[in-house]
Structure 1
Amino acid sequence: MSEQAVALSHHDPVWRIVREDAESIARHEPALGGLVHATVLDQPSLEEAIAERVSARLADAALPATHIRHAFADALDDQPELADIFRVDMVAVRDRDAACERLIEPLLYFKGFHALTAHRVAHSLWTRGRRDFALMLQSRMSAALQVDIHPAVPMGRGIFIDHGTGIVIGATARVGDDVSMLQGVTLGGTGKERGDRHPKIGRGVLIGAGAKVLGNFSIGSCSRVAAGSVVLQAVPPCVTVAGVPAKVVGEAGCQEPSRSMHQILADLSQR
């Protein structure tokens, strides 16, 4: 570990904990020693560790890992705040995913986190006019991770994509801070119309597995969309919607559904 990395770890608690986790893996699981050294222990910062891991997962013959790492570096140069956003996203996974026991797990293993991070780089490319590279990164993310988010979509901080498989988010959607969504979620349009045609998701919303939100309207902050629901109209803040088509069935049940991850609706049946 270089002197620079030692100094950085004292001022970056997330990076320090990830390195400690990596050292423990290297000791207890020698078969993964190469992975944790290349991804974490040989890297000078958390940003470069994330770039290394995501690049390795997305690279193919048409898009080498080196090009993806350069895209990460360019995005961080253009938006230094991405370094903080990566950390907030990682901590969100650790906080909300009952299966996540260590901070290093999203970095090494969780494709929802990998896809979100790759999308943030693709969005940076898109906003700087490098649209073909952004679309290529989206294509690789879809093929390798089964998460398809158009690079035009702005995503807030503290997003948690649990499991990831089957997530589809259309080009004119927006996703606010602290949103959580599970596998199979679609934020889509209703046809081939052009212009602004996709949902706008407010802060703190929880979207359950398999839910489809279709059309240009808002899901109010701190609301809850039940698993398997099809939402076709605007949802007020702080409520639960369920069904096909979805209707308001009660209050959200807590102040921050996306953080509680409470998806059982039995508590509403008695009201």
Structure 2
Amino acid sequence: MIPNGIAPVDQLWRAIRRETERVRASDPVFGASLSATILNHANFGSAVSHQIGEQLGKSPADRRRFGCLAREAFAASPDLIDAASRDLQSIAVHDPATTALLPPLLNFKGYVALQAWRVSNWLWRERRSDLALLLQSLSSDQLQISIHPTASIGTSVFLDHATGIIIGAFAVIGDEVTILQNVTIGRKHSAPDRAPKIGRGVLLSAGSSILGNVSVGDFAKVGAGALVEHDVPAGCTAVGVPARLTNCPEQVSV
């Protein structure tokens, strides 16, 4: 674990390799599999690419193909590697179930799905839309997480217990957002400007739905099972169906 904030990618990679060596020494059975996943890779981007290929590919050839595709994206756009680093470190900081870096990298499908989306978004911006949509489809099939390539997602984002998450076209999600299982973020109409906008530090609890041209302000919370079809001001909590506001800062009129 790296204390005190977000570390550079190279420092993160050294920390992951140290964790890997400790695990290999303490558990030879599990450790035997760590060469292919971690130790055989020269850098963090290569290791993440391997995980994307392993999780999305249905055959050895597909796994190699999608791993190579992720490496291509990371080489062309190094900011994707920085985003992947921030996402991983955010999990280690905020998830009470783990304080290490290796378990979420290897075992948290929400983390892999988010990095696969980053590759699909890059493909979309490169006008390779068919391949971008293929990655979305594979993520939906293999990982039960569907994120449209046209969505916009910040960094230090955590998809927790990630099953049944749908993030639709043109949705905007800020930094440091946590999204739990069975959350839907989608449009009511076809226009791009009708998609939800989720601010920084927002918590979207299990089973919640945020639909239409709505904004959820910074550090707001959406309760489990809530249906949000109107704006949620910064710092407020939205609960119920339809959602009502509670626990708002004093300056916000509920």
Same fold flag (TM > 0.5): yes
DSSP 3-state at the match of 2:118: helix
DSSP 3-state at the match of 2:53: helix
Counterpart contact for 1:213–1:231, Cα < 8 Å: yes
Judged with a 3 Å threshold, the aligned counterparts in structure 2 of structure 1 residues 99 and 138 are, in CA distance, closer, same or farther, namely: same
Runs of 5+ unmatched residues, structure 1: 1-9, 254-271
Counterpart contact for 2:199–2:217, Cα < 8 Å: yes
Judged with a 3 Å threshold, the aligned counterparts in structure 2 of structure 1 residues 63 and 194 are, in CA distance, closer, same or farther, namely: farther
Judged with a 3 Å threshold, the aligned counterparts in structure 2 of structure 1 residues 241 and 67 are, in CA distance, closer, same or farther, namely: same
Tell me the distance in 1 between the aligned counterparts of 2:60 and 2:231: 41
Tell me the distance in 1 between the aligned counterparts of 2:119 and 2:204: 24
Instruction: Give the drift of 1:28.
Output: 2.2
The runs of 4+ residues in structure 1 deviating greater than 6 Å are none
Tell me the distance in 2 between the aligned counterparts of 1:252 and 1:208: 20
Q: Percent identity, aligned pairs only? A: 38
Instruction: Give the drift of 1:139.
Output: 0.8
Instruction: Give the drift of 1:27.
Output: 1.9
Tell me the distance in 2 between the aligned counterparts of 1:131 and 1:230: 31
DSSP 3-state at the match of 2:201: coil
Matching residue of 2:46: 48
Matching residue of 1:167: 165
Judged with a 3 Å threshold, the aligned counterparts in structure 2 of structure 1 residues 252 and 23 are, in CA distance, closer, same or farther, namely: farther
Matching residue of 1:4: none
Tell me the distance in 2 between the aligned counterparts of 1:163 and 1:184: 9
Instruction: Give the drift of 1:62.
Output: 10
Judged with a 3 Å threshold, the aligned counterparts in structure 2 of structure 1 residues 147 and 94 are, in CA distance, closer, same or farther, namely: same
Judged with a 3 Å threshold, the aligned counterparts in structure 2 of structure 1 residues 63 and 195 are, in CA distance, closer, same or farther, namely: farther
DSSP 3-state at the match of 2:153: coil
Letter paired with 2:163: T
- How well do the aligned residues superpose, as a CA RMSD in angstroms? 1.8
Alignment of 1:39 with 2:37, yes or no, is yes
Judged with a 3 Å threshold, the aligned counterparts in structure 2 of structure 1 residues 230 and 11 are, in CA distance, closer, same or farther, namely: closer
Q: TM-score, normalised by structure 2?
A: 0.90
Matching residue of 2:4: none
Judged with a 3 Å threshold, the aligned counterparts in structure 2 of structure 1 residues 90 and 168 are, in CA distance, closer, same or farther, namely: same
Matching residue of 2:5: none
Q: How many equivalent residue pairs?
A: 242
Letter paired with 2:125: T
Letter paired with 1:155: I
Matching residue of 2:186: 188
Counterpart contact for 1:222–1:252, Cα < 8 Å: no
